[in-house]
């Protein structure tokens, strides 16, 4: 790990890449919107030759990501899926096997099922919360465990430290973790033993629905160099303007996360008391079966939750449409509260029988709680309940 001041997170995100532009002393790091760079002489550069390989603005964002990951460095990509794709193409080869979390983002599923299979990369979906099942799933050609915790959209948790022990007990098996739902500020995967931390920076890191991006970080310099090389070959590096916008977003990350967590907790508790709500999935609730694991490996419970109504699928979708402050959109982690039905959005490609087995029913509603006042969000829910089910159901227990 690189040496850096022991700042608190709110200081770290502001000052981790505090480099001023020397020509004008701009307080904001500039956007280096350029394809190429002047060579001072043949073979002599200032570290940049072509923006497909590296860019100063992207590098400034990478310094910020590395600071919150506590890693030697970080790499930024044009999307979260570009990060995962680069990771797989950099570290896997034909004949390799990967263990994937059973409940995982739909895009990751599509990558393995519809792309990597053509390159003879095998995979097995396993409940990574079941450590014995993960151990049984290790094959002689297993090269990676790719876990997502909390899982999208059921919030199911996997024990990162124990998964790391399993991976490292076998030769050449790496643990990569998709930490998008929490970020390193609420769950530091690398410190828990993971080899690689992956983020969709589109979500909480940016926080404003302004960019698409992803990142990878590791304590292993050889891994980072390999992924940096493959990123250059594939051309999946983050765009300078998106990197610049994300730099502005990350400066408020600790403050936003604190509000997301506080608001999500209040909304989850209110929903759980409502007679029209059958089930709420939120690690901060006493009813959440893995609450102790959440307390063990997370510093807070996050801003994501999901729930099911005591209602039909049609009524559940009408309920979503009746909401005014909760915007129906396919993303999460922004200042706006976003709501979605995973069965018709992120996980629509999964067969219904599989979705039902994984707890992703057609009635499941995923909520990314934003920065609006919780009482206003709760009033919005009350209005939707009254609109769809009548006044008698409009009050919580």
Q: Where are the beta strands (DSSP E) in 79-189?
A: 97-101, 122-126, 142-148, 174-178
Same domain for 43 and 168, yes or no, is yes
Q: Are residues 45 and 167 part of one domain?
A: yes
Q: Is 4 inside any structural domain?
A: no
How many Cβ atoms are within 10 Å of 130's Cβ, its own excluded?
Answer: 13
List, as one string, the DSSP characters of 317-348.
HHHHHH-SSSEE-S--SSSS-EEE-GGGTTTT
pLDDT for position 346: 66
- Structure tokens of 175? 């643990």
231 lies in the same domain as 297: no
Q: Do residues 158 and 269 share a domain?
A: no
Distance of alpha carbon 84 from the chain centroid: 11
Task: Provide the Cα torsion 83, 85, 91, 93; round to 10°.
Answer: 180
Beta pairing partners, 305: 367
Last residue of a domain, one of 216, 250, 284: 250
172 plus 26 within the same structural domain: yes
Rounded (10°) CA dihedral 8, 178, 152, 154: -70
Residue 2 forms part of a structural domain: no
C-alpha pair distances (Å), 43 with each of 38, 46, 229: 10, 10, 19
Per-residue pLDDT 10s for the chain (397 aa) are 445 568 999 999 998 877 666 667 888 889 999 999 999 899 898 889 999 999 999 999 999 999 999 999 999 999 999 999 999 999 999 999 999 999 999 899 999 999 999 999 999 999 999 999 999 999 999 999 999 999 999 999 999 999 999 999 999 999 999 999 999 999 999 999 999 999 999 999 999 999 999 999 999 999 999 999 999 999 999 999 999 999 999 999 999 999 999 999 999 999 999 999 999 999 999 999 999 999 999 999 999 999 999 999 999 999 999 999 999 999 999 999 999 998 876 666 666 777 777 778 888 999 999 999 999 999 999 999 999 998 555 454 4
In three-state secondary structure terms, 366 is: strand
The pLDDT tens digits for 268-316 are 999 999 999 999 999 999 999 999 999 999 999 999 999 999 999 999 9
Domain end (from 219, 250, 281):
250
Query: Can you give the pLDDT at residue 345?
Result: 65
The enclosing domain of 33 has a CATH number of: 3.40.640.10
Residue 204 lies in a domain: yes
pTM here?
Answer: 0.94
Q: Is residue 294 part of a domain?
A: yes
Show the domain range for 56.
9-250
Verify that 144 and 240 share a domain, yes or no.
Answer: yes
Write down the pLDDT at residue 75: 98
The answer to whether position 1 is within a domain reads: no
Identify the CA nearest to 153 among candidates 219, 218, 109, 216.
109
> Beta strands of 179-247 (E only): which ranges?
196-199, 214-218
Number of H helices, E strands in the chain: 14, 12
The last residue of one of the domains, among 250, 276, 311, is: 250
CA-based nearest residue to 389, from 286, 319, 297: 319
Whether residue 310 is contained in a domain is answered as: yes
- 222 and 246 both lie in a single domain: yes
Query: Could you report how far apart the first and last alpha carbons of the chain are, in Å?
Result: 51
- 188 and 293, same domain (yes or no): no
> Could you give the 3-state DSSP secondary structure of residue 9?
helix
277 & 234 share domain: no
Q: How many domains does the chain have?
A: 2
Same domain, 81 and 224: yes
Place of tokens 């990142």: 215
**Quick one: 94 and 33 in the same domain?**
yes
Do residues 241 and 104 share a domain?
A: yes
Is position 3 within any domain? no
Which among 149, 214, 208 is positioned nearest to 332, based on CA atoms?
208
């Amino acid at each position: 790990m690189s040496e850096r001041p022991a700042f608190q997170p709110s200081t770290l995100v502001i000052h981790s890449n505090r480099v001023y532009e020397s020509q004008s002393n701009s307080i904001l790091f500039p956007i280096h919107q350029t394809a190429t760079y002047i060579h001072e002489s043949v073979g002599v550069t200032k570290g940049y030759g072509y923006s497909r390989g590296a860019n100063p603005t992207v590098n400034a964002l990478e310094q910020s990501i590395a600071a919150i990951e506590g890693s030697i460095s970080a790499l930024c990509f044009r999307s979260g899926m570009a990060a995962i794709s680069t990771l797989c193409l950099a570290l896997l080869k034909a004949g390799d096997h990967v263990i994937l979390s059973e409940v995982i983002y739909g895009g990751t599923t599509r990558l393995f099922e519809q792309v990597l299979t053509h390159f003879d990369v095998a995979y097995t979906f396993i409940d990574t919360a079941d450590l014995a099942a993960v151990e049984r799933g290790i094959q002689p050609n297993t090269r990676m465990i790719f876990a997502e915790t909390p899982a999208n959209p059921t919030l199911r948790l996997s024990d990162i430290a124990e998964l790391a022990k399993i991976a490292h007990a076998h030769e050449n098996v790496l643990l990569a973790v998709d930490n998008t739902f929490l970020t390193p500020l609420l769950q530091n995967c690398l410190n828990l033993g993971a080899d690689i931390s992956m983020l969709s920076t589109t979500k909480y890191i940016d926080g404003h629905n302004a960019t698409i991006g992803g990142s990878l970080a590791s304590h292993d310099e050889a891994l980072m160099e390999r992924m940096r090389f493959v990123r250059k070959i594939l051309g999946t590096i983050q765009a300078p303007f998106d990197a610049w916008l994300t730099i502005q977003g990350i400066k408020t990350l600790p403050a936003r996360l604190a509000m997301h967590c506080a608001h999500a907790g209040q909304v989850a508790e209110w929903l759980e008391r409502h007679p029209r709500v059958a089930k709420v999935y939120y690690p901060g609730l006493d009813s959440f079966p893995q609450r102790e694991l959440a307390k063990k490996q997370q510093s807070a419970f996050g801003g994501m939750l999901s729930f099911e109504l005591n209602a039909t699928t049609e009524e559940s979708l009408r309920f979503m449409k009746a909401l005014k402050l909760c915007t129906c959109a396919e993303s999460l982690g922004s200042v706006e509260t976003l709501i979605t039905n995973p069965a018709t959005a992120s996980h629509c490609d999964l067969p219904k029988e599989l979705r039902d087995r994984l707890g992703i029913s057609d009635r499941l509603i995923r909520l990314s709680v934003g920065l609006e006042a919780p009482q206003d969000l709760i009033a919005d829910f009350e209005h939707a309940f009254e609109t769809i089910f009548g006044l008698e159901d409009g009050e919580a227990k």
